[in-house]
Amino acid sequence: MRLRRVEFKNVLCEPGALGFTGEGEWYHNAARMLGVSWADVTFVSQAVTAAPWPGINPGIDEFLPQWVERARRTPSSPFLISFVAISGSPRLRLDEAKRFVEKSMKSYSGCRAGPASWWSSANSIPTSR
């Protein structure tokens, strides 16, 4: 499956099923011992917010370094980051999304298929005002 010139595996993992960084949950170890494998799925992170949301979501800064390391370690295995804007108004949510993308682009510079590969065309999509 191709999205914005990036080739993904045909099955997308449910967001969060393998945690924030793909490490899985404690019970995945038992599934692995029974032969279950996630090698043929595209990892999709658990939804993350741009800023910490106390008690619910630690925010992007906690996981971005791990995602960048994953992208550098396995460049032929792209993944998706699930993001949710939580601000009170549409304008603030758009600003939050832009901050998320800017942080991502800075962090992923030098990676083969980071956000810079799709942001220029996605940024031209008209938004309602």
Question: Could you read off the pLDDT tens digit of each residue along the chain, which spans 129 residues?
Answer: 887 777 888 888 887 788 778 877 788 888 889 988 888 888 888 888 888 888 888 888 888 888 888 888 877 788 888 888 998 999 999 999 998 888 888 887 766 555 544 444 444 444 444
Asked if residue 119 belongs to a domain, the reply is no
Asked whether residue 122 is assigned to any structural domain, the reply reads no
Whether 127 is in a domain gets the answer no
Q: Which residues, 6 or more positions from 128, have their beta carbon under 8 angstroms from its beta carbon?
A: 90
CA-wise closest residue to 19 among 82, 84, 113: 82
* pLDDT at residue 114, as a whole number: 54
Say if 48 falls within a structural domain: yes
Residue 94 confidence (pLDDT): 92
Number of domains in the chain: 1
Look up the pTM and report it.
0.69
What is the residue whose two structure tokens read 């962090």? 107
Q: What is the Cα–Cα distance from 68 to 44, expressed in whole angstroms?
A: 14
Within a domain: 123: no
State how far the Cα of 118 lies from the Cα of 101, in Å rounded to an integer: 11
